[in-house]
Structure 1
Amino acid sequence: MTYQPSGHRAAAVETMTFDRLRELNDGGTQRADFHVLAVVDAGHGTVTVDFRHHPLKERSAVWIPPGAVHRWDDIAGVAGHLVLYVPTAPVTHATRELVASPDLVAHWSVPDADWPFVEMARDHLLLEASAVPENAPTELPPILLSALIARLRPPQAQALSAHPVFQEFRSSVEAHFREHHAAGYYARALGYAPRTLSRAVQQVTGRTAKVYIVDRIVLEAKRLLAHDRLTAARCAAMLGFPDASNFSVFFRKATGMRPGAWQAAAAVE
Structure 2
Amino acid sequence: MTVIRQMTYQPADRRAAAVETLTFDHLRALNDGGTQRADFHVIAVVDAGPGSVTVDFLRHPLRELSAVWIPPAAVHRWDDIARVAGHVVLFVPTAPVTHATRELVASPDLAAHWNIPDADWPFVDAARNHLLLEASAPPGDLSTELPEILLSALIARLRPPHGGARSAHPVFQLFRSSVEAHFRQHHDAGYYARTLGYAARTLSRAVQQATGRTAKAYIVDRIILEAKRLLAHDRLTSAACAGTLGFPDASNFSMFFQKATGLRPGAWQATVACE
CA distance in 1, matches of 2:200, 2:153: 38
Name the residue aligned to 2:67.
Answer: 61
Q: Deviations over 1:94-153 (max 9, x none)?
A: 111111112121000000000000000000000000000111101000110011000001
Q: Deviations over 1:164-220 (max 9, x none)?
A: 211111110000000000001001100111111111111111111100000000000
Q: Does 1:197 align with 2:203?
A: yes
Contact 1:46 1:75 in 2 (8 A): yes
* Aligned partner of 2:170 among 138, 148, 164: 164
CA distance in 2, matches of 1:145, 1:107: 18
Name the residue aligned to 1:2.
Answer: 6
Which has the higher mean CA deviation after the structures are superposed, 111-120 or 93-102? Answer: 93-102
CA distance in 1, matches of 2:266, 2:49: 37
Amino acid at match of 1:152: L
Name the residue aligned to 1:76.
Answer: 82
* Aligned partner of 2:31 among 20, 25, 28: 25
Name the residue aligned to 1:139.
Answer: 145
1:162 CA drift (Å): 2.8
* Aligned partner of 1:93 among 99, 103, 117: 99
TM-score w.r.t. structure 2 length? 0.94
Amino acid at match of 1:173: V
CA distance in 1, matches of 2:167, 2:261: 32
Q: Deviations over 1:39-73 (max 9, x none)?
A: 00011100000000000000000000010000000
CA distance in 1, matches of 2:55, 2:124: 23
Which has the higher mean CA deviation after the structures are superposed, 259-268 or 96-105? Answer: 96-105
Q: Against the structure 1 CA distance between its residues 161 and 198, is the aligned structure 2 distance closer, same or farther, given a 3 Å change threshold?
A: closer
1:160 CA drift (Å): 8.4
* Aligned partner of 2:193 among 181, 187, 194: 187
CA distance in 2, matches of 1:45, 1:259: 30
Specify every segment of 5 or more residues in structure 1 that has no aligned partner in the other structure, as ranges: none
Q: Does 1:238 align with 2:244?
A: yes
Contact 1:2 1:32 in 2 (8 A): yes
Specify every segment of 5 or more residues in structure 2 that has no aligned partner in the other structure, as ranges: none
Contact 1:160 1:167 in 2 (8 A): no
Name the residue aligned to 2:18.
Answer: 12
> What is the aligned-residue RMSD (CA, Å)?
1.7
1:11 CA drift (Å): 0.7
CA distance in 1, matches of 2:70, 2:215: 24
1:6 CA drift (Å): 5.3
* Percent identical residues: 80
Amino acid at match of 2:16: A
CA distance in 1, matches of 2:29, 2:49: 17
